[in-house]
Amino acid sequence: MNKELTKNLASGHSACAGCAFPTIVRTILGESDVPVVISNATGCLEVTSTLYPYTAWKVPYIHNAFENAAATISGVERAYKILKKKGKIKKEIKFVTFAGDGGTYDIGFQSLSGALERGHNFLYVCYDNGGYMNTGNQRSSATPFGAATETTPSGKMSFGKMEVRKNLMDIAAAHGVPYAAQANVAYLPDLKKKARKALETEGPTFLLVFSPCTNNWKFPTSQFVSIAKLATETNFWPLYEIEKGKYKINWATEKPKPVEEFLKTQGRFKHLFSEKNKPVIGQIQKMVDAEFRRLASLVE
């Protein structure tokens, strides 16, 4: 077991072979120079890392429920504030929340908004695997347009999820948070830089991190890095930051690969390659291009 990497999250967790989020968690927490306390929403990370009697967490950790990780850390952070004032707690501590996209875009959306609005000093990290994966791949508002899930299956009448992914980054930024960034597990240097920035920024900060799911996106267990890379290389998942409302794109290319390169690597998009659904791929390409142009236009 790698001692350096397992200072916060040890081995022995039961995430699927080839899962991406352990790397996300370890990379982000590795950037903190001070001790951390974690709150975590119900989800894959939580259930695979705290299966009694074993907890893979070597740092203080609380799982409360599915929709309240941000509210829970709000309580922890305020407790810290007063106990430090009273001299009962001496050390400086950082507060980090981890949640999946379901726990962030949907059921945890309200408690996230409350915590951001109240200005608690914490970092909220959403590992975005595009659906409710722990419960067996049901659709969330983060599921991409056209993706098949167990609740948006493709069929005679449907080509998968009909709605467009909720733009959570803009919603987070709209709270006036000092720092929000979209990152990708395949781009570790970029993720590290953003994690350090988020951890060092006073007040609520937000990281949305691309986290491929081998089991439910249906790709071989060895592929999460390659597929995550393609997501950014095709502009499907741009890397950018919003600092005090100012947008900055961290990775761009003159000639992005066609989104098809990304889609064809995953079983959840396989149905789009039928004659009937081919036009949907064109639609997705247009949406990806339009979104990137929109982002680029927001950069001063």
Partner 1 sequence: MEEGAIIQHDIKKAPKTGNWRYMKPEVDKEKCIGCATCVPFCPEAAIEMKRGQGQKKAKADIDYEYCKGCGVCAEVCPVKAIFMKK
Partner 2 sequence: MTKNSKKLALTGGYAAAEALKQINPDVMAVYPITPQTPIIEVFSKFKSDGEVDTEVIHVESEHSAISACVGSSAAGARTVTATSSQGLALMNEILYIASGLRRPILMLVSARALAAPLNIHGDHSDVMGARDSGWVQIFCSTPQEVYDKTIVGMKLAEKVKLPVMVIMDGFNTSHSVENMEILEKEAVQKFVGEYSPEKYLLDIDNPVTFGPVALQNSYFEFRKDLSDAFDTVEGELEKIYEEYGHISGRSYKKIEKYKLEDAEKILVAMGSVGGTIKDAIDKLREDGEKVGLLEISLFRPFPYEEVKKALKDTKEVIVLDRNLAFGTKQVLASEISHSIGKKVKSVVYGLGGRDTFQKQIMDLVKGDNQSGYLL
Q: Which of 188, 249, 252, 298 lies at the binding interface for partner 1 (CB under 8 A)?
A: 188
Among 293, 178, 289, smallest CA distance to 236 is for 289
Q: How far apart are CA 127 and CA 45, in angstroms?
A: 9
In this chain, which stretch among 77-85, 150-158, 215-223, 273-281 interacts with partner 2, using CB under 8 A? Answer: 77-85
- Looking from the CA of 216 toward its CB, the CA atoms found within 13 Å total 26
Q: Where are the beta strands (DSSP E) in 77-140?
A: 94-100, 123-128
In the three-class reduction of DSSP (H, G, I as helix; E, B as strand; rest coil), residue 231 is classed as helix
Determine which helix (DSSP H) or strand (DSSP E) holds 207, and give its type and residue range: strand 205-210
214 binds, among partner 2, partner 1, none (CB under 5 to 8 A by kind): partner 1
In this chain, which stretch among 8-16, 69-77, 202-210, 267-275 interacts with partner 1, using CB under 8 A? Answer: 8-16
Q: Which of 35, 58, 153, 293 lies at the binding interface for partner 1 (CB under 8 A)?
A: 58
In this chain, which stretch among 52-60, 191-199, 236-244, 247-255 interacts with partner 2, using CB under 8 A? Answer: 52-60
- Give the number of other Cβ atoms within 10 Å of residue 123's Cβ: 27
Residues 269-298 that bind partner 2 (CB under 8 A): none
Residues 78-137 that bind partner 2 (CB under 8 A): 78-83, 85-86, 88-89, 91, 93, 110-111, 113-114, 117-118
The partner residues of 138 in beta bridges, in order of sequence, read 132
Residues 6+ apart with CB under 8 A from 183: 190, 191, 194, 195, 207, 208, 209, 210, 239
46 belongs to the binding site for partner 2 (CB under 8 A): yes
Residues within the interface to partner 2 (CB under 8 A)? 35, 37, 39, 46-47, 50-53, 55, 57-65, 67-68, 71-76, 78-83, 85-86, 88-89, 91, 93, 110-111, 113-114, 117-118
Residues within the interface to partner 1 (CB under 8 A)? 1-3, 5-6, 9-15, 17-20, 22-23, 26-27, 50-58, 188, 214, 220-226
